[in-house]
Amino acid sequence: MPLPRVVLADDHPGVLAQVRTILSPAFDIVEAVGDGEAAVKAVRRLAPDAVILDISMPVLSGLDAAARLRAYGDAPAIIFLTVYEGDEFAEAAQRVGAARYVLKRQIGTHLLPAVREAVDARQSAREPLQTEARP
Model confidence pLDDT, tens digit, residues 81-111 = 999 998 999 999 999 999 999 999 999 999 9
Whole-structure pTM over 0.85, yes or no? yes
User: What are the CA-CA distances from residue 14 to residues 35, 71, 101, 107 (Å)?
Assistant: 14, 30, 19, 13
Number of domains in the chain: 1
pLDDT of residue 72: 85
Residue 67 in domain: yes
Q: What is the CATH number of the domain that holds 39?
A: 3.40.50.2300
- Local structure of 31: helix, strand or coil: strand
Q: Is 122 contained in some domain?
A: no
Domain membership flag for residue 125: no
Task: Specify if 116 maps to a domain.
Answer: no
Range of the domain at 36: 5-109
pLDDT tens track for 17-51: 999 999 999 999 999 999 999 999 999 999 999 99
Q: Hey, which residues does 50 pair with through a beta bridge?
A: 6, 77
Query: Does 29 map to a domain?
Result: yes
- For residue 63, the number of C-alpha atoms closer than 13 Å in the C-beta half-sphere is 12
